[in-house]
Amino acid sequence: MPSQKLVRCEVSREGVPGQSTVRYVPMEIYGLWEYLMESKHNFDVSEPQASLWIDIEESPELAYSDEQYEKVTELTLFIFSERDGMFGKVSRYFPSERYDEVKRIFLKHYRIDDNEPGLRPQMKERPGIWIKRNGK
């Protein structure tokens, strides 16, 4: 069963309390991601919780009640690097109920316009769940 260690956290604009959104970040890049969000983009990052994301195609939700998980969709881009002459892989995780909205924002960071030269990123989407731990 494919899984990924993710950190779930709340992100809000500095000085704008009460309007936070949820982010799911791969654990291996969380420290760098948090630093960039706070120092470069002026976001507040709070309430980090680590757990597992599991591919829903393996039907893990059958082992959990609705209160024990959150639905999270994985978006993987295979992006061609002109400099390296090869594809690289970028995977990000978004709350499933806001997936279309957040996906559009995320894709603005990558060339996906048919009119631009070069190879377009290939996309792969997989529904999954993020397992809640310690009753949170």
Q: Which of 67, 66, 59 is nearest to 128 (CA)?
A: 59
Question: What does the radius of gyration of the chain's CA atoms come to, in whole angstroms?
Answer: 16
pLDDT at 11 over 90: yes
User: How far apart, in whole angstroms, are the C-alpha atoms of residue 95 and residue 93?
Assistant: 7
Task: Report percent pLDDT > 90 for the chain.
Answer: 49
136 located within any domain: no
Split at pLDDT 50, 70, 90, the class of 116 is: low
Q: In this predicted model, what pLDDT tens digit does every residue of 81-107 receive, in sequence order?
A: 778 888 888 899 999 999 999 998 888
64 located within any domain: yes
pLDDT value, residue 87: 84
The mean per-residue pLDDT over the stretch 39-43 comes to 92
Split at pLDDT 50, 70, 90, the class of 60 is: low
Q: Domain tally for the chain?
A: 1
Token output for 7: 């950190």
pLDDT value, residue 95: 95
Long-range contacts at 92-98 (CB < 8 A, ≥ 24 apart): 93/4, 93/6, 93/24, 93/25, 93/26, 93/53, 93/128, 93/130, 94/24, 95/22, 95/24, 95/70, 95/71, 96/71, 96/72, 96/127, 97/71, 98/21
45 located within any domain: yes
21 located within any domain: yes
56 located within any domain: yes
Which residue range is the domain that position 8 belongs to?
Answer: 3-131
pLDDT at 118 over 80: no
Residues counted in the chain: 136
